[in-house]
Structure formats: C-alpha cells, structure tokens
C-alpha cells in the first residue's frame, strides 16, 4: 500500500484545493484531523478514500469517494463545502462560518 | 430428501454488534444508554463524540472502519434495517431503540435529552 507522510498528505489537500479554486478548511485542528484520516486511508487502502466515508472494499467500488470525491463540486456549490468540510468555496471560507454536516449525496445503493 | 447442511451466515447472528470492539467513555450522565458507531478517520465523528464528552454523557463507541469488510457489510445492512437509517457516520443509537445518522448538534441534543 502507498505510504505517504502526513506532510505529503497535507500538501495533497492544499494542492487539491488550489487546483480547483477551493479553499482548504482554515480551522487547522479540523483540517488536520481530516488530513490524518486521509493519511490513514492511503496507508490502509492505497488511495485517498474520503475520511468521512466507509470503504466498500476496493478501489473500483470506492472510486466515487476517492478524495476529492465525485460529489464535492455539487456540495461546494450548494452548501459551500464538501461532505467532510475539508474543502470550502472561497465565499464560504470568507464568511467565517463553520461547516455543518450536510446530506449524503452518494446514492444509497453505494453506501 | 437428502439432508443438506446450511452453513451459518452472518444474517443468522442475532446480536449485530457481536464482533465489534467497543470503548467505554465514562460520564456522569448515564441515561439514556448511548452507542456511537463511527469512523476513526472522520472529523465529524470526533466532533460528535467531543459533544457527548463535553456534556458529560457516558457512552460507548466502536470504529466500524477497523473491522473485517465482510462482517462490516452485514453489520451495516442489519443496522440500517433494524433502525431504518441510512448508514452515514457517525451514528448515534439511543437506548438500543432509535438511531440518528450523521452528527447535527441540535438533533443529538434532543436525542440525548438536552433541552
């Protein structure tokens, strides 16, 4: 399985946000908890499984929830942040609001 | 008719939590009985359990991502059927009767009896 340092995973988060014109959550403790979760998952599964979703056992069956997940863009557009609260829209980030749990957009049959 | 043996399957397991490991978090408020199913990697799960700690509730929790995938699938299916919830973590089970999927502070406050 792929092994990355926590620092590499933090960099992955930052790059993923920058490439999409998102903002990585500015709450350092919350963001770091998610980066640590991603780091556990990449060590465990070999890919950056969303830390807020459970694995279905293979990359193929998890492909829609590999971070950034398939649903992130729609969630960020609608709620200002992704399901995990890791990535924010620039507007949401500027508002100073805290991400709240949002409905799961992933189809129930995939959960 | 030839006798055929049917291997026991996980769906025969009456206690769906049988193979899970639980950690007990002590607190002065011991009612209602609270169980949290969580992912060890999830920030909202941590936040949810911090909420229970902060409010001094005793609860037990289990990290579902740490268990065998085959058992986990069956566990999630049974949990969903038993409590009629979509399995989105964290899940709070109150008195083994009602379950709440995902952490929303207001909903969890009402569920545990904080007015």
Can you read off the two tokens belonging to residue B94?
């109150």
Indicate whether B14 pLDDT > 90. no
In what order do the strands lie in the sheet containing B34-38?
Answer: B23-25, B59-63, B34-38, B91-94, B98-101
Q: Sign of the CA dihedral A33, A34, A37, A43?
A: negative
pLDDT attached to residue B10: 42
Q: What architecture does CATH give domain A6-110? A: Alpha-Beta Complex (3.90)
pLDDT for the residue numbered B15 = 67
pLDDT digits (tens, 9 = 90+) for B30-64: 999 999 999 999 999 999 999 999 999 999 999 99
**Mean pLDDT value across residues A3-29:** 95
Q: For position B72, what pLDDT does the model report?
A: 87
Question: What Rg do the C-alpha atoms of chain A give, in angstroms?
Answer: 13
The residue-averaged pLDDT of B88-102 equals 95
| B20, B44, B62, B104: best to mutate for the A interface, most A CBs within 10 A | B44
pLDDT at position A41, please? Answer: 96
pLDDT over threshold 80, residue B6: no
Which of B43, B72, B88 has its CB closest to that of A30?
B43
Q: Give me the residue spans of the domains in chain A.
A: 6-110
pLDDT of residue B7 exceeding 60, the answer is no
d(CA A80, CA B35): 31
Which CATH class name applies to B17-112? alpha beta
How many beta-carbon pairs under 8 angstroms link A with B?
Answer: 58
Yes or no, beta carbons of B41 and A111 under 8 Å apart: no
pLDDT tens-place string over residues B16-27: 777 889 999 999
Each residue of A19-76: pLDDT tens digit?
A: 999 999 999 999 999 999 999 999 999 999 999 999 988 899 999 999 999 999 999 9
Q: Is B23 exposed, middle or buried (0-12, 13-18, 19+ CB in 10 A)?
A: exposed
What is the full DSSP assignment across A38-60? HHHHHHHHSS-B-TTS---SSHH
Per-residue pLDDT, averaged over B86-100, amounts to: 94
B72: closest CA among B34, B112, B19? Answer: B19
For chain B, the residues whose C-beta falls within 8 A of a C-beta of chain A are: 39-47, 64-65, 69, 72-73, 76, 86-89, 102-104
Among all residues of chain A, which has the CA nearest to that of B63?
A54
| B21: its two tokens | 């490991």
- Residue B58 is given by DSSP the state -
Mutate which of A6, A51, A81, A105 to test chain B, going by most B C-beta atoms within 10 A? A51
Q: What is the pTM of this model?
A: 0.88
Under an 8 A CB cutoff, do B44 and A84 touch?
A: yes
Q: Is residue A2 scored above 70 in pLDDT?
A: no
Orientation of helix B43-54 relative to helix B105-112, angle to 10°: 40
Confidence of residue B69 (pLDDT cuts 50, 70, 90): confident
From B46, B65, B86, residue closest to A111, measured CB to CB: B86
* Alpha carbon distance B32, A4 (integer Å): 42
* Residues of chain B found within 8 Å of residue A108, distances taken between Cβ atoms: 86
| Res A90: pLDDT | 97
Q: What is the pLDDT of residue B73?
A: 86
Nearest to B86 among A41, A54, A108 (CB): A108
Q: Report the 10 Å Cβ neighbour count for A96.
A: 7
Structural domain spans, chain B: 17-112
Å between A20 CA and nearest CA of chain B: 22
The answer to whether A101 contacts B102, with C-beta atoms less than 8 Å apart, is: yes
Q: What is the pLDDT of residue B19?
A: 80
Q: Which residue in chain B is spatially nearest to A38 when comparing CA positions?
A: B41
Q: Whole-angstrom Cα distance, residue A4 to residue B72?
A: 26
Closest-CA residue of chain B to A25: B43
pLDDT of residue A1: 65
């Amino acid at each position: 399985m792929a092994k990355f340092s926590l620092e590499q995973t933090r960099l992955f988060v930052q790059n993923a946000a920058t490439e999409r014109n998102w903002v990585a959550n500015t709450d350092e403790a919350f963001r770091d908890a998610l980066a640590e979760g991603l780091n556990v998952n990449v060590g465990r599964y070999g890919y950056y499984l969303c830390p807020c979703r459970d694995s279905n056992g293979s990359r193929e069956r998890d492909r829609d929830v590999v971070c950034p997940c398939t649903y992130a863009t729609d969630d960020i557009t609608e709620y200002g942040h992704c399901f995990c609260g890791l990535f924010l829209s620039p507007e949401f980030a500027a508002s100073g609001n805290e991400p709240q749990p949002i409905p799961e957009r992933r189809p129930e049959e995939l959960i | 008719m030839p006798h055929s043996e049917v291997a026991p399957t996980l769906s025969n397991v009456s206690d769906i939590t049988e193979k899970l490991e639980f950690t007990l978090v002590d607190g002065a408020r011991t009612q209602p009985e609270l169980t949290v199913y969580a992912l060890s990697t999830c920030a909202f799960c941590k936040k949810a359990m911090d909420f229970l700690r902060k409010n001094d509730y005793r609860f037990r929790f289990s990290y579902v991502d740490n268990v065998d995938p085959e058992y986990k699938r069956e566990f999630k299916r049974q949990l969903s059927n038993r409590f009629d919830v979509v399995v989105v973590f964290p899940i709070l089970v109150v008195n083994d009767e009602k379950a709440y999927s995902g952490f929303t502070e207001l909903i969890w406050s009402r569920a545990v009896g904080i007015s």
